Amino acid sequence: MRRCTFILSTLLAVSTTAFAAGSIFSGLADYGLWETFTSSRAAGFGKAGLALGDSVGLNFMNPADLASLKKTRVSVGGFLTNTRMEDPYGVDSEDWAQFEHFGVAIVLRSGLGLGFFITPASRIDYRYNWQSEAGGVDFTETRSGSGGLSRTGLNVGWAFSEWGKIGASAAVLFGQVEESRISYTEESGYDPYIEFLNTQQWLGFTGSIGVLLEPTPKFSIAAILEPEAPIQLDNEFAYSEEDSMVLTEAEYKLAGLYGIGLSYQFSPHLLTSAQLLYRPWSAVDDLPVITDEYQDAVEIGGGLEWIPGEWDDEFFFSRLQYRAGLRYESNYVKSQGSSLNGYYGTFGIGIPLHQGRDRIDLSLEYGLRGDITDNGGQERILKIRAGINLGETWFVRSKPSWED
């Protein structure tokens, strides 16, 4: 029964396409808005999970942490979000929920782990409506897009020493984006409706190397390196006035990712973590849109985790892990020529299960992205995340009876 539910839930999770959260700013670039995800635990830390060695949850960003696993692990989760969007002319609010991460990792042997994962990489989800005029005639214009990129692949982590782990990841970036452009008029004598449809299929291969060093039992330092990678685009362009369509292929580049993280265990009850991620988009030559609209992306996050009681504390709430963090991001696209920045605060709870061998991570993130004056709009984002981390004794035979 457990195996069935595991398999069903796994298939269900994998069968859905992972999308990162949408945004009114996601129409600024063909890739959409990028999102990073480290682990469900780090979501309460301001997403600062690079250097978090975690034997219960899976680290989706630093493959080196797979070397910490003691048993097969499954990690899955998603979020509910409310985004309040505002521009100089109006306010709107959107609610949605989505799957965010799924991973399963196995222990090949002590100090060597292998994992499969799928996470969102970017999302495009926007719809712009505006009025225009040409030749004294009024038009209603719409531009909308949906889709995004997902990332899936294999991670492997190896503990080369007691204090050091190294890992590698091979991943596929894939996704589909549909962008529609509609022009409509009610003026008599005009062709009233013109629609263009771009259907984009993205496919790229990338990889990364991660390092997790523990020079002291309390201090960890981690780093990841993901080089600049090519990504293939198959574009299908059609519009309402033509029966035919134009198929084009192109190859662009994705900026590399450089990250460094730190964590320090002040005491068994207090842990801090911080990380810095950097993507040099301005150095990339082949981008789908005008290079001037791209800038280097930076994300800085940090937080702390506090466990008030012992693992077997009599008081329920003393057994939980409490997390808080802050995060700042400077997005890779500009809006109206200005940097698109986001400021977020996070709060999380870790609920141990099965004597701490499993865990449910809940987190709340609230943030501001953009500025009405500089960027033409602002988003207030409230996100409630849930992640389930389970350990299984898969791939382990039962003890033979003659050894009893």
Q: What distance in Å separates the CA atoms of residue 211 and residue 213, rounded to the nearest whole number?
A: 6
Q: Which tokens belong to 282?
A: 């301005």
Q: E strand or H helix at 83, and its extent?
A: strand 72-87
Spatial separation of the C-alpha atoms in residues 150 and 120, rounded to whole Å = 4
Q: What's the rounded Cα separation, in Å, for the pair 110 and 67?
A: 8
Q: Which is nearer to another protein, 189 or 268 (CB)?
A: 189
The answer to whether residues 38 and 61 touch, using CB atoms and an 8 Å cutoff, is yes
Q: Note whether 326 and 47 are within 8 A (CB).
A: no
The Cα–Cα gap between 84 and 279 comes to: 27
Q: Which is nearer to another protein, 129 or 291 (CB)?
A: 129
Q: Which is nearer to another protein, 243 or 403 (CB)?
A: 243
Nearest-approach distance from CB 223 to another protein, in angstroms: 32
CA distance 34 to 173: 12
Q: Min. distance of Cβ 39 from another protein in angstroms?
A: 17
Nearer to another protein, 181 or 253 (CB): 181
As measured in angstroms, the least distance from the Cβ of 26 to another protein is 9
Shortest Cβ 347–another protein spacing (Å):
20
CA 394 to CA 118: how far, in whole Å?
Answer: 20
Residue 165 or 359: the one with the smaller Cβ distance to another protein is 359
- Least distance from C-beta 281 to another protein, angstroms? 19
DSSP 3: H
Least separation in angstroms between CB 185 and another protein = 6
| CA–centroid distance for 258 within its chain | 16
For the chain, the straight-line distance linking the first and the last C-alpha, in angstroms and rounded, comes to 27
Least CB distance from residue 400 to another protein, whole Å?
23
Query: Residue 313 CB: number of other CB atoms within 10 A?
Result: 13
CB nearer another protein, residue 183 or residue 220: 183
Looking at the Cβ atoms of 6 and 347, the one nearer to another protein is 6
